[in-house]
């Protein structure tokens, strides 16, 4: 079945540094990738939608300059948290539409970011 | 945009009893309604889904019902087992997902 590989699974970084999270579709082409953020015991919050070859679409309230999204190819989308702060600590997860014309989505395994 | 509300936020049931989780949505154009089960720190797993042209769908102990007129849909789990304990999310989708706030289900042995 369709698999989205997300790395790293866990990362600890210092305040002020940047962290890059990668999501790769392993056996299908993902022209679109959704990026979510999840706080403990809370729902997934859509941050942005990345589209291969064009600029990402950000949800209201999400800082574009802080959460840089790049969809470099049909199989790779990245989220870079720039100048990280402790409040950026969260669980970040990506998902991609699995099949053309099918509403199913495949989730990455998630990245636990801790900013110290 | 779409607004999805989910109730209850927590639910405890005795093993063997049924559990029902309800969601409402605001955008009548939404046409796909999946339910996800998420264990702590892991990715959500799709457990069942329903499209807007169907009123009910069942898969073993799990069923989902959809009322398009009222814009609400529900997840039903029968004969609950301890391994059903997790957080469940509903979602409504047209071109992207909007998730409900989640229900933490605890099945007491």
Stretch A82-94: mean pLDDT, rounded?
95
Least confident of A17-26, A104-113, B52-61: A104-113
pLDDT surpassing 80 at residue B1: no
pLDDT top residue among A3 and A12: A12
Determine, for residues A105 and B97 on separate chains, whether the beta-carbon distance falls below 8 Å: yes
Of the pLDDT bands very low, low, confident and very high (cuts 50, 70, 90), residue B39 is confident
Report helix, strand or coil for B42: coil
pLDDT in tens, B13-22: 999 999 999 9
| Residue A1: per-residue pLDDT | 66
Plot region of A89 (φ>0 → left; ψ -120 to 50 → alpha; else → beta): beta
pLDDT surpassing 70 at residue A101: no
DSSP state of A106: E
Plot region of B94 (φ>0 → left; ψ -120 to 50 → alpha; else → beta): alpha
| Residue B2: per-residue pLDDT | 80
pLDDT in tens, A9-48: 999 999 999 999 999 999 888 888 999 998 877 788 889 9
Q: What is the number of alpha carbons within 13 Å of residue A104 lying toward its C-beta?
A: 14
Q: Say how far apart CA A109 and CA B97 lie, in whole Å.
A: 17
pLDDT in tens, B57-96: 999 999 999 999 999 999 999 999 999 999 999 999 877 7
pLDDT surpassing 80 at residue A102: no
Residue in chain B closest to A57 (alpha carbons) equals B96
Of the pLDDT bands very low, low, confident and very high (cuts 50, 70, 90), residue B98 is confident
Determine, for residues A43 and B96 on separate chains, whether the beta-carbon distance falls below 8 Å: no
pLDDT surpassing 90 at residue B97: no
DSSP state of A87: G
| Residue B43: per-residue pLDDT | 81
β-sheet bridge partners, residue A44: A38
Determine, for residues B96 and A34 on separate chains, whether the beta-carbon distance falls below 8 Å: yes
Q: Which of A91, A105, A108 to mutate to test the interface with B (most CBs of B within 10 A)?
A: A105
| Residue B94: per-residue pLDDT | 79
Determine, for residues B34 and A44 on separate chains, whether the beta-carbon distance falls below 8 Å: no
Pairing state of beta strands B103-108 and B10-14?
parallel
Q: Which of B5, B96, B98, B104 to mutate to test the interface with A (most CBs of A within 10 A)?
A: B96
Chain A segment 47-86 residues within 8 A of B by beta carbon are: 49
pLDDT surpassing 90 at residue B103: yes
């Amino acid at each position: 079945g369709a698999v989205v590989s997300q790395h790293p699974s866990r990362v600890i970084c210092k305040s002020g540094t940047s962290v890059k999270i990668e999501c790769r579709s392993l056996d299908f082409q993902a022209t679109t990738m959704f990026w979510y953020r999840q706080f403990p015991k809370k729902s997934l919050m859509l941050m942005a939608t990345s589209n291969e070859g064009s600029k990402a679409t950000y949800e209201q309230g999400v800082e574009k300059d802080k959460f840089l999204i790049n969809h470099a190819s049909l199989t790779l989308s990245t989220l870079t948290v720039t100048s990280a702060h402790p409040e950026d600590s969260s669980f970040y997860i990506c998902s991609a539409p699995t099949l053309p014309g099918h509403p199913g989505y495949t989730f990455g395994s998630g990245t636990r970011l801790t900013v110290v | 945009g779409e607004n999805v509300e989910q109730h209850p936020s927590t639910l405890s049931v005795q093993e063997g009893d049924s559990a029902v989780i309800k969601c409402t949505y605001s955008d009548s154009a939404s046409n796909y309604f999946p339910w996800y089960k998420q264990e702590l720190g892991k990715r959500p797993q799709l457990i069942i889904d329903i499209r807007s042209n169907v009123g009910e769908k069942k898969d073993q102990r799990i069923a989902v019902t959809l009322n398009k007129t009222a814009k609400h849909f529900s997840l039903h789990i029968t004969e609950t087992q301890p391994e059903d304990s997790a957080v469940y999310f509903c979602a409504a989708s047209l071109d992207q997902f909007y998730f409900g706030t989640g229900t933490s289900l605890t099945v007491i042995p």
